[in-house]
Amino acid sequence: MYIDSATIITIAGVLGALTAIGAAAYRVIKWFQEQEKQTKDIEKLRKQEKKDIEDMQDELCLLTYAVLACLKGLKEQGCNGPVTEAIGKVEKHINQKAHRQEE
């Protein structure tokens, strides 16, 4: 078999086309893998965010009880007026929040 320049050019063209198709397929596969990784990362972040929100809610609950205790201590020492009003508002808030969580 005789290989002339036209045959070499044809073989080079075919190899170039196969390389281009392979590179395009590789990029498509990598893109899908990256999308899957991003989806998993987003789900992981959502779970972490949910946990962080729950932790902050627990901390806010504790702080609310601490503020109520401080206000009651002030009332026991004879402070009236705004202290009594604040105690009522905090207790009302705690009561409403408790009833919403039960539903």
Give pLDDT tens digits for 40-93: 999 999 999 999 999 999 999 999 999 999 999 999 999 888 999 999 999 999
Per-residue pLDDT, 2: 77
Cβ 68 vs Cβ 98: under 8 Å: no
Q: Which residue has the tokens 């604040």?
A: 86
pLDDT of residue 53: 96
How far is 63 from 11, CA to CA, in rounded Å? 77
Helix or strand holding residue 68 (H, E)? helix 5-76
pLDDT at 1: 67
Alpha-carbon span 97 to 102, nearest angstrom: 9
Specify the pTM. 0.60
The pLDDT value recorded for residue 102 is: 57
